[in-house]
Each structure stands twice: as structure tokens, then as C-alpha cells.
Structure 1
Amino acid sequence: MSAHDATGLKRPALVIFDCDGVLVDSEPLSLGTLTAALNRIGVAIEVETVRTRFAGTSMTSIMEHIANDYPAVRVPEDFVEAVKVETLGVFDRELRAMAGVAAAVQTLDIPTCVASSSDPVRLRHSLTLTGLLPLFDGRLYSSAMVRRGKPFPDLFLYAAAEMGAVPESCLVIEDSVPGVRAARAAGMRVLGFTGGGHWGHDRNGKDLAEAGADQIFGNYGQLDALLGGLPAQV
């Protein structure tokens, strides 16, 4: 397909995928693991609250919020590392790629990359386990590479610069409110994805739309048509 579809609407020059909840159905696994670990150290919180507050954010940001909101809780020094190890173990047993994502990426005629709040080890491990790494190898960008994670725009701006694309020509695919806000702050168009297991409560993606997503979708069979029908960034 050309850079414009039949309606004259401009396709992006770069598609930036989030990873967790977009490429791999990891959020139910990681949020469940984090919730259980927080409960064990005395943080009385439910998985739905963890999803609402922390989906799409880095562990650094999560632990800052925990320290502020639960000052009486003593967080063990090895807590973050232990959660990471436990999460990877769950991934080894249960992680799956999103249905249809590999075929959708393979058929795109647009450059792609990944920009994720996950640390580099988890990011690469997730894509390796699900067989998606060859589709993005050498084009993986983690929040560990920038000073501020989502909802700040730093990671998306960094990924675009590394890929040689101007922000207004980029399209981000995100499943979290912080991710959508980060994309909008970077001056990029954004599609909200609700096909992951953690979006079972709202397949219409009301929160994502309110955060600024241009359109919402939940099936990768829709992706190419959506890319051709997006208006240019203003």
C-alpha cells in the first residue's frame, strides 16, 4: 500500500509498539504477580487497583508510588529483583503472543520498533519466549534508556530519533493510559489496543480514548486498515 490510502489520509512513517499488553499478553501475569508480592509485604491492594494505577509504568515509578502511599510498609531491599525473577518464571510457563500480531507485523510495509516500560532483560525475554524477537531485533527501546518513563514522552522521542523518524510521522500502539499520554505528549498519533486479557472489563477502551487515543481496536486483523485511515497529525 502507498503512503496514502484511497481517501488521501496519510499512513505513518514509523509504527512504535508497546510490548506488554500489546505484543504479548503479559499484563494479567505480571500484575497478578506484583499484587501478590505487594500483599506479602503488607500492602493491602487488589489486582484491579494495581492494573488501574500501574499498568504501563516502570517498576521504578511503581515503587516510588508505593513508598509515598504506604510509608509504614518496609520494602525489602531485594523486592524489585525478586518480583522480576518471579515474573519471568511465570512468563516461562504461561506467556503467549497476542493473537494475530506476528502476521500483522510481517505484512506491514512500514518500519517498526518496540518502546516498552519493561527493563531490557524482561523485554527481550518476553519477545524471545513468544517468537516475536526476530520481527524487532535491533529495534528494542526500554525505559531504562531514558531519564523519565511513561507518561512522559522521553522513551517515544528516543525511539523515534534512533529510528530516524520525526515525531509527527510516528504512530504508537498502546494499551495503557500512561502510554497513550506519553505518545500524545511526544506529538505522535496513537492507537489504543484492548485485545489483552487485562482489558476484559472494557473492550471499548473508554479510558484510552479519554487519554487521547485516536482510535481503539482489539483485533490485529484490523491494524492495516486502521493505519491507512488515520488523519495526519496536527
Structure 2
Amino acid sequence: MKRTCHIDLLICDCDGVLVDSEILSERIMREALSAHVPLAELEVLLHGTFGLQSRDILARVETHFAIRLPHDFHAQHLLRCEALIRSQVQVIPGVHAALHSIDLPLAIASNGRYQAVEHALLRCELSERVDVGIFAAEQVERPKPAPDLYLLAAKTAGVAPQRCLVVEDSVTGVTAALAAGMQVIGFLGASHIPPEHAENLRQLGVEHLIEDMRELPALVERLCYAEPAEVQP
């Protein structure tokens, strides 16, 4: 009997899922902000903020420390991040083989800027595998944690949200994907992921977690062909 796949589209976040860029962005932000606020207190505030847009993180910093950062701080931060990512970002180990083993169309949904995501994918030789498109923060009115980016990707592909499978690393991204009505795999293998993060994602309702991209093809296969009642964590 021929099996029926229940997933029609794979959607991946970029930073921290396909490329190990979050650690670079965090380093640049920490170094730049340490000139304006106490570093020890800043470390506590920044903990777990990955996945948020940098503008939202800076707003938290201004509110917490009751300061006003220079008017061009955000723009300069983006320029420094994008320059560093273009020259240094590395692909997550195992991503190439994993994505080419999965027989599903692929879209990218990122809170980053389109050009930055495009350059990261080009540097890491992933662009050719992305056959549905890149969906970035400036394309929607409300980026993650709102579901808009994921819904836009599904609509563009002509796929119902419930037939989409998302790979995400952050609370922000998982919140967005679940709000879109999509099934989510939590990825814990990037260098910026703290030890307690698995439990954070479980509390949001993520049932399937992986630490190595080599685990992804088999899990996607299982989720694709399992009836909803059969899928277990």
C-alpha cells in the first residue's frame, strides 16, 4: 500500500538552524553595549534573547537601564553583524546532507534582513536547496513571534499551515510557528544554545527536539508518514 505524506513544506529558520550566526551577533552586541552599560548586568539581560530582532533587544536594554543609546546604534550594529557574517559565518554541521536527504520543498523564514539571510545562505552554499524562497522580517508588518512570516511562506507555496513542518531554535521562532498552526521541530545544536533551552521549548509545546542535524531526515520521514495519533515525542 502506498503511504501518504502529511507534510508538504519544510520551513527552516536561518540563524541558529542552518548557519551558526547567532553567536556572532551576540558577541558584537555585547561588545558594543558594554561601552554604555555594566557588562555583568547586561549578560543577565541578554540571556535567552536570541531569535528576537536586534531592535527589540536594544529597546529592552534602553528600558532596563533607563538610557538612550546613540541614534545610529542600531544601524551600525546591523552593518557590523552583516559584515562579520559575510566573512566568518559557518554552516551548522550536517545541514547540507540533511536538507538534501529530505524530499520536501524548502522555504526559509527569518527575523533577519533579507539581504543578510541571502548572503549567509550563499556563503554556506545552501541557496540552491531553497526552492520556495526566503521570507525575511521586512516582508511582513509583524515579524516573529507573530505568525506572519510563516503564514506568508505557506501561502506563497500554496500549502495549508497544518501541512507545514518548521525547524526552529528560539522561543521567539517556535512561538511564531505554533501560532501559525504548524508542527515544530526544536533544534538545540547551535553554539549559542544554553543547557536549559530544551525545557524552554518543551514548555511551549514542542514535542520533537534534536541536537544534531544528522537526526533531521529520519525525524522528518517519521512525522511525514505518521498519522497524528501515532506521533510520539
Q: Which amino acid aligns with 1:20?
A: D
* Partner of residue 220, structure 2: 227
Per the alignment, residue 182 of structure 1 pairs with: 176
Alignment correspondent of 1:33: 28
Task: Give the deviation of 1:181 after TM superposition.
Answer: 1.1
Q: How far did residue 49 of structure 1 move?
A: 3.8
Percent of pairs identical after alignment? 32
**1:79 positional shift:** 0.8
Matches within 5 A, 1:125-204: 125-136=119-130, 139-199=133-193, 201-202=195-196
Distance 2:69 2:228 in 1: 44
Deviations 1:95-132 (A, max 9, x none): 10001101111121111100000011211121122121
| Ranges in structure 2 where 5+ consecutive residues have no aligned partner | none
- Structure 1 residue 207 corresponds to structure 2 residue 168: no
SS at match of 2:192: helix
Deviations 1:25-67 (A, max 9, x none): 1111111111221222336544464241x21111232233234
Q: 2:50 aligns with which of 49, 55, 63?
A: 55
Contact 2:146 2:176 in 1 (8 A): yes
- 5+ unaligned residues in a row in structure 1: which ranges? 5-9
Using a 3 Å threshold, how does the CA distance of structure 1 residues 232 and 26 change in structure 2: closer, same or farther? farther
**Preserved CA contact (<8 Å) 1:31 1:51:** no
Q: Secondary structure at the match of 1:83?
A: helix
Match of 1:7 in 2: none
CA contact (8 A) 1:32 1:47 kept: no
1:142-180 CA distance string (max 9 Å, x none):
011111121111111111111111100001100001111
The alignment's TM-score, normalised by the length of structure 2, stands at 0.88
- State the TM-score, normalized to the length of structure 1: 0.87
